Amino acid sequence: MGRNIHQTCSICSRPGGRAVVDGMLEKRVPMKDIAAQTGFHKSSIGRHSLKCLARDAAKKLKARQFDHTRQRFISIDTEGVVRWIVDPYKPNAILAELIADWQQNPRADDVVLRATFDDLPTRRTVTPDVRVGGAIAIENPSPNPETPELVN
């Protein structure tokens, strides 16, 4: 029989289980280690993180309103460089002034968007080669898509 779609999460339903698992997930503890320490199955932890944790994060984000009339918005790229700041109190300031002010006078209600990406393992991909009707394998795609590194 299939799983009941209205079935309660085994982690959420166990008293104290959710707090422990959520805390470990926030610290980025691997799921197999969480499973070993808590007794929950790894797949249950995976489902919990994808459904329950994501649902609650979305609810918190939705509940938090950004007030563009009083809050600063700061965008930071993957290398830690501030790319954009909007400050409603200084609409005509240049970026360098806004960065200096933000670094010297951080406010509790500042909204900071920091882009981060996990490193993913390189996969061997096969792409069609229209010129010869065959396929070529690209082991480590080069940063320049015009000149990929080809592997025989």
Asked if the structure places residue 1 within a domain, the reply is: no
Task: Specify if 3 maps to a domain.
Answer: no
Rounded average pLDDT over 24-46: 91
What is the distance, to the nearest Å, from the Cα of residue 133 to the centroid of all Cα atoms in its chain? 39
Q: Which of 63, 87, 106 is the last residue of a domain?
A: 63
Q: From residue 55, how far is each of 27, 52, 103 by CA, in Å?
A: 19, 5, 33
The number of domains in the chain is 3
Please give the backbone phi and psi of residue 11, each rounded to the nearest 5 degrees, phi first. -75, -45
- Segment 99-108, tens digit of pLDDT: 899 889 888 8
Shared domain for 104 and 125, answered yes or no, is: no
Residues 33 and 16 in one domain: yes
Domain that holds residue 146: 121-152
Are residues 83 and 49 both part of a single domain? no
pLDDT in tens, 66-110: 777 888 888 887 777 888 888 888 888 888 898 899 889 888 888
Instruction: Report the pLDDT value the prediction gives residue 141, as an integer from 0 to 100.
Output: 46
Q: Residue 5: inside a domain, yes or no?
A: no
66 secondary structure, DSSP code:
P
Inside any domain, residue 47: yes
Q: What are φ and ψ of residue 14, in 5° steps?
A: -85, 125
pTM across the whole model: 0.43
Q: Determine the length of the chain.
A: 152
- Do 21 and 53 reside in the same domain of the chain? yes
Pairing of β 82-86 and β 111-114? unpaired
Residues 21 and 49 in one domain: yes
The Cα–Cα gap between 55 and 72 comes to: 26
